[in-house]
Amino acid sequence: MRILFVAAEASPLAKVGGMGDVVGALPKVLRAMGHDVRVFMPYYGFLPDKLEIPTEPIWWGNAMYQKFAVYETRLPKSDVPLYLFGHPSFMPRRVYYGEDEDWRFTLFANGAAEFAWNYWKPNIIHCHDWHTGMIPVWMNETPDIKTIFTIHNLAYQGPWRWFLERITWCPWYMEGHNVMAAAIQFADEVTTVSPTYAQQIQTAAYGETLEGLLSYVSGKLSGVLNGIDVETYNPETDRFIVENYNADTVERRKTNKVALQEELGLVVDSGVFMIGMVSRLVEQKGLDLVIQIMDQFLSYTDAQLVVLGTGDRYYETQMWQMASRYPGRMASHILFNEALSRRIYSGCDALVMPSRFEPCGISQMLAMRYGCVPIVRRTGGLVDTVFYNDPMNEAGTGYCFDRYEPIDFLTAMIRSLEAFRHKDHWRKLQQRGMWQNFSWEKSAYEYIKIYNRVLGTSDPGEPTEQPQTSGVTV
Ligand SMILES: Nc1ncnc2c1ncn2[C@@H]1O[C@H](COP(=O)(O)OP(=O)(O)O[C@H]2O[C@H](CO)[C@@H](O)[C@H](O)[C@H]2O)[C@@H](O)[C@H]1O
């Protein structure tokens, strides 16, 4: 099968959130299963710092009266061909910014469609989020290229139809009041990143005004749980952390905890309960709950809190101000730092994720992989990945609460603090999290089934041809 992944992010090159993790990891796994998977993403101004890119493009194209170049390289540490869409509008050193975002990513999506028609023709284009939403619309008239549209974040739906018509030409048959709606309508299959979230988005509470459309297309809508890159994120081999360990040597995490406390200027004490939060600082992530309870929690306990994230100025300021109220007990780092995130996962005792909604969530899986116990609100993918701690039956992997209420979150925090005192139980809880299998293989098979379904081919999971590493196949 020839599959072209099109997305705005791909880890480790361009990652703002979890979508980057997915697009950086899944193609490698699918390729290892014998499919010819390639990735198409923007050529951001910061990319030459991170990988070698040939100076000569392999192809020139046109879209929306703009000329663009496509450069070919590889996803780092893999043989996955990576095509970079080169246009001056992507040259600033940021992924998302500015007023022309709608225009810029519409150009990118239209450019990807041109590329698929004219240079490398895949059987399937796997599109991610609204940035690629025009692709299913264009491919509606190209029956031999099927499209899968994966929703990572329903809250961002791209330009409204009236604006789209001002910036580009929309085909006569196009329906949908914004790009996301159109993509949902025209894609051959729509997926989201967990089974629970796939159900939730068909309701008014989570549908972000698209619940009607999503229930209407429920026959082609499914939820495939994300995995994590278990090779990159492996506490046994991770070079970003001070002490490597595994589930049998989980007590070695103490060294990481102390190193993290020293690094962040917190009181050094390996016995205190240390909580981390690694997240985009936006409404989705439940920051209003954090703001409402954390003062109380920190004042009445000796726990420590570390926040790593960027996002809305309001939440950034709140986190920073809260840290200034608890010197030596709380640290807020308002930046994106992959290495520090791993030191948090490997040093903190627990990770909080009180999300308002959560399509899947990668952070809680990374936390469990590193023996950091998740405290989560049961919504979306958090329902599918974190299970109540049940020390009596030695089951469960974290602490959960249901209602989006400060008191419920506070209760879950206090319960986890209490459990932390019972060292034996806590160790077992950590180990159960570390033993979970979050590798991508299972999800990759699910996607292969979906690819086969849209192509009308059978034998799900079986490779259909040997991957090619380069060259034009049209
Ligand atoms: N400041 C920082 N420094 C370093 N690393 C940071 C960071 N802030 C976040 N990260 C990293 O970014 C990733 C966050 O992924 P999530 O899936 O938890 O959330 P996100 O909302 O971005 O993703 C969306 O897409 C994904 C993928 O489908 C869904 O799982 C999710 O529910 C959906 O909201 C993790 O790998 C985390 O470690």
The ipTM of this complex is 0.98
Q: Choose the residue to mutate in 363, 370, 382 for probing ligand 1, maximizing ligand atoms within 8 Å of C-beta.
A: 363
User: N- to C-terminal Cα distance for the chain?
Assistant: 14
Taking the centre of ligand 1 as the mean of its atom positions, its distance from the CA of residue 471, in whole angstroms, is: 34
| Tens-place pLDDT, residues 317-336 | 999 999 999 999 999 999 99
What's at 227, amino acid-wise? G
pLDDT at 460 over 80: no
Taking the centre of ligand 1 as the mean of its atom positions, its distance from the CA of residue 266, in whole angstroms, is: 25
Contact 368, 436 (CB under 8 A): yes
Contact 128, 179 (CB under 8 A): no
pLDDT band at 474; cut points 50, 70, 90:
very low
Supply the pLDDT for residue 467.
44
| Tens-place pLDDT, residues 28-67 | 999 999 999 999 999 999 999 999 999 999 999 999 999 9
The 3-state DSSP class for residue 233 equals: coil
Cα Rg, the chain, nearest whole Å? 22
CA–CA–CA angle 216, 222, 228 (5° rounding): 150
- Average pLDDT (97-107) is 94
Contact 190, 151 (CB under 8 A): yes
Contacts of 457 (CB under 8 A, 6+ apart): 464
What stretches of 27-175 adopt beta strand conformation (E)? 36-42, 59-63, 66-74, 81-86, 124-128, 146-151
Q: Residue 267 CA to chain centroid, in angstroms?
A: 32
Taking the centre of ligand 1 as the mean of its atom positions, its distance from the CA of residue 465, in whole angstroms, is: 33
User: pLDDT exceeding 90 applies to what percent of the chain?
Assistant: 92
Taking the centre of ligand 1 as the mean of its atom positions, its distance from the CA of residue 18, in whole angstroms, is: 4
Least confident of 43-52, 271-280, 359-368, 463-472: 463-472
Taking the centre of ligand 1 as the mean of its atom positions, its distance from the CA of residue 338, in whole angstroms, is: 11
For the CA of 21, the closest atom of ligand 1 is 36
For the CA of 150, the closest atom of ligand 1 is 28
Taking the centre of ligand 1 as the mean of its atom positions, its distance from the CA of residue 56, in whole angstroms, is: 34
Contact 121, 473 (CB under 8 A): yes
Give rounded-to-5 percent helix, strand, coil for the chain. Answer: 40, 20, 40
Residue identified by tokens 């950034």 is 316
| CA distance linking residue 421 with residue 403, whole number of Å | 26
The strand order across the sheet containing 399-401 reads 330-333, 304-308, 274-278, 350-353, 373-377, 399-401
- Average pLDDT (261-278) is 97
Q: Choose the residue to mutate in 224, 241, 279, 364 for probing ligand 1, maximizing ligand atoms within 8 Å of C-beta.
A: 279
Taking the centre of ligand 1 as the mean of its atom positions, its distance from the CA of residue 362, in whole angstroms, is: 6
The 3-state DSSP class for residue 441 equals: helix
| CA distance linking residue 110 with residue 101, whole number of Å | 14
pLDDT at 462 over 90: no
Supply the pLDDT for residue 463.
47
Taking the centre of ligand 1 as the mean of its atom positions, its distance from the CA of residue 75, in whole angstroms, is: 20
Mean predicted lDDT score pLDDT of the chain:
94
| Tens-place pLDDT, residues 377-405 | 999 999 999 999 999 999 999 999 999 99
For the CA of 193, the closest atom of ligand 1 is 28
pLDDT band at 466; cut points 50, 70, 90:
very low
Supply the pLDDT for residue 98.
87
Question: What residues flank ligand 1, with Cβ below 6 Å?
Answer: 17-19, 21-22, 152-153, 193, 226, 278-280, 308-310, 336-338, 341, 358-363, 366, 381
- pTM of the prediction? 0.91
- Average pLDDT (184-205) is 97
Supply the pLDDT for residue 387.
97
pLDDT band at 458; cut points 50, 70, 90:
confident
| Tens-place pLDDT, residues 287-320 | 999 999 999 999 999 999 999 999 999 999 999 9
Supply the pLDDT for residue 17.
85
Residue nearest to ligand 1 atom 2, measured at CA: 336
Supply the pLDDT for residue 175.
86
